[in-house]
Structure 1
Amino acid sequence: MSAVDTEFVEGFGGAKLAVHRIGAGRPLLLLHGLFSSAEVNWIKYGHAALIAEAGFEVIMPDLRAHGQSAAPQEPGAYPHDVLVTDLQAVVRALGLSDYDLGGFSLGARTSLKGVIAGLSPRRLVLGGMGLEGLVKWGGRSAFFLDVIARYGTIPRDDPAYFAQNFMRSMKIDPVAARLLLESIEGAGIEDFAAVTMPTLVVCGTEDRDNGSPHALAEELAQGVLAEIPGTHMSCVTKRELGVEIARFLAA
């Protein structure tokens, strides 16, 4: 299997976005989750290589304020749904027209919002996502904004401790992360009418951090559900995540 190649494209406002690529074949654009990176979500545990071996070119941007991408601290760099604007910029910069799209957690939310905004992948993958995580985003966002507000002071027995440590290990800039979170909006069920393509909802059996994956699959015109072992965090380490994505895309 070939090595992962990295290039940079311009997102909103000229921000440099790192884009990692592996494999050859039909393009699959995959977005990682909050406070994570393409390396942690898709490369480290072998998902990208597994999907590439199934005949795909796996294209994995680092989202703004994550990984090797720019993390500007100016409020003007984070307009409404800037991640969707960045996603559209990546699609244009890479000349993608016939491709598949997916993501995990925040990446899933961004992928779905991209479709609502007009992107038209052949197939869509929503990982680590449930219905409430999309239509009741405010509650989920408030949790992470609290983590950022108390960053560095959260005690070990606090439910937010793990998120704080993950931010620290990933070297997330709290200022940029707060601005990014404040730019994100959820989706209404009425918006799902735009999601007409076959859509895989893949979620850990112990993962209900973003609500019910079953309810989400039922709300989508061509939604199918695949459950894999693990919690919201641990399912990313399981080979089954890559297996289910590859199986769905190859069908």
Structure 2
Amino acid sequence: MPTFQSDGLTLAYDVFGEGPPVLCIHGFASSGKVNWIDTGWVETLTGAGYQAIVLDNRGHGASDKPYDPDQYYPTDMARDAVALLDHLGIEKAALLGYSMGARIAAFMAFEHEERVVCAIFGGMGLNLINGLSDGNDIISGLRAPSLDGLTHPTARQFRIFAEHTGADREALAACMETSRQPMARADVRRINVPVLVAVGEADVMAGAPEPLAELLPDAEAFVIPKRDHMRATGDAKFKAATLAFLGRTLPTNS
């Protein structure tokens, strides 16, 4: 994967297709490949006439993995996303974020509005404001010697996922310390770009999508039927809703 520099870190990315750019920001413990390529998102976006830009967040994938929690605040990772657009010479892009990636997208849309056409917050509802209650359990699970005796369901889920993807569990633990920083309700109200809030019907981690959409000045909510947090990522109905939203906010020439 090609790389770029941000905050002294070397971060990996890839670009697929041509057309209006969509910057894809993956979730916690995932990577650009796992979140967007393996789930068919890149194929979906490029097939619809968009350019898909896939970023490995700091601490993930092929990017640098610092162990300092102070390097994982959402504002830091939002700056990484802006730095990638600078590196590619792109003035504005749509943002497609999932879970932690949606939180990063929200901070980017608030702090760097001039770089954002629109945003999709996948797997992130009202807990953008309320925070993640299971964070400390996930950290303990990542640092546990093994899965044996690990009973907390969310902690087990992320530990198994991290082992499956070959992630650096200590970097992920540092990331979880600070990347779950809530966004102030007043700041959410000042996100002025169009937003699609898409959350699985059975997702207990994200919080409800409708109350978050109501707070945002220009937003709509979409419930992904019969999906939980992990299984909503590549859902066909989520993709269709996203393409319809992009068609209204960032249409292609075709």
Whether the 8 Å CA contact 1:151–1:164 is kept in 2: the answer is no
State how far apart, in whole Å, the 2-side matches of 1:163 and 1:111 are: 21
**Structure 1 residues 14-93: aligned runs within 5 Å:** 15-74=9-68, 77-78=71-72, 81-93=75-87
State how far apart, in whole Å, the 2-side matches of 1:182 and 1:10 are: 23
TM (norm. structure 1) is 0.89
Shift of 1:139: 2.1
The match for 1:102 among 87, 96, 100 is 96
TM (norm. structure 2) is 0.88
Whether the 8 Å CA contact 1:51–1:245 is kept in 2: the answer is no
**Structure 1 residues 228-243: aligned runs within 5 Å:** 228-229=224-225, 230-243=227-240
Tell me the equivalent position of 1:247.
244
State how far apart, in whole Å, the 2-side matches of 1:49 and 1:40 are: 13
Shift of 1:77: 4.8
Tell me the equivalent position of 1:136.
130
- Structure 2: runs of 5 or more not aligned: 249-254
How many matched pairs? 244
Q: Cα distance 1:74–1:196, how it changes in 2: closer, same or farther (>3 A)?
A: closer
State how far apart, in whole Å, the 1-side matches of 2:224 and 2:137 are: 25
Q: Cα distance 1:113–1:154, how it changes in 2: closer, same or farther (>3 A)?
A: farther
Q: Cα distance 1:150–1:100, how it changes in 2: closer, same or farther (>3 A)?
A: same
Q: What code does the residue aligned with 2:120 have?
A: V
State how far apart, in whole Å, the 2-side matches of 1:45 and 1:218 are: 29
Shift of 1:54: 1.1
SS of the equivalent of 1:236 reads: coil
- Structure 1: runs of 5 or more not aligned: 1-5
The match for 1:174 among 169, 190, 197 is 169
State how far apart, in whole Å, the 1-side matches of 2:128 and 2:41 are: 24
Whether the 8 Å CA contact 1:195–1:220 is kept in 2: the answer is yes
Whether the 8 Å CA contact 1:205–1:228 is kept in 2: the answer is yes
State how far apart, in whole Å, the 2-side matches of 1:235 and 1:220 are: 22
Is 1:163 the counterpart of 2:167? The answer is no
Shift of 1:80: 7.3
Q: Cα distance 1:138–1:76, how it changes in 2: closer, same or farther (>3 A)?
A: closer
State which drifts further: 183-192 or 28-37: 183-192
Whether the 8 Å CA contact 1:201–1:226 is kept in 2: the answer is yes
SS of the equivalent of 1:16 reads: strand
